[in-house]
């Protein structure tokens, strides 16, 4: 999985186990996949399976502090 950190302006690849260990209850961080806000590991798994069934080999997760994505500026 490729993770784009908006705040740090960086991209990196993460292993499945690292992503699973993220604090999914952290309300200060937003994670988006194709514009969809992902709030749980189970929701991310659903999207991963769907994308894999379509033949996608890479999943891009955009991560940012909530205020950065909701600021509207």
pLDDT for 52? 93
> Tokens standing for 67?
């205020």
H/E element, 33: strand 29-33
Asked if residue 2 lies in contact with residue 51, where contact means CB atoms within 8 angstroms, the answer is no
Q: Is the pLDDT of residue 8 over 80?
A: yes
For 11-62, write each residue's pLDDT tens digit: 999 998 999 999 998 989 999 999 899 999 999 999 999 999 999 989 999 9
- Give the distance from CA 57 to its chain's centroid: 15
pLDDT for 68? 74
Q: Which alpha helices (DSSP H) does the chain contain, by range?
A: 16-20, 41-53, 66-70
């Amino acid at each position: 999985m490729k993770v784009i950190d908006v705040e740090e302006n960086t991209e990196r690849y993460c292993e499945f186990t690292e992503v699973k260990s993220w604090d999914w209850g952290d309300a200060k961080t937003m994670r988006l996949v194709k514009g969809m806000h992902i709030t749980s590991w189970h929701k991310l798994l659903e999207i991963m399976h769907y994308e894999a069934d379509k033949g996608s080999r890479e999943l891009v997760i955009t991560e940012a502090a909530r205020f950065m994505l909701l600021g509207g500026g």
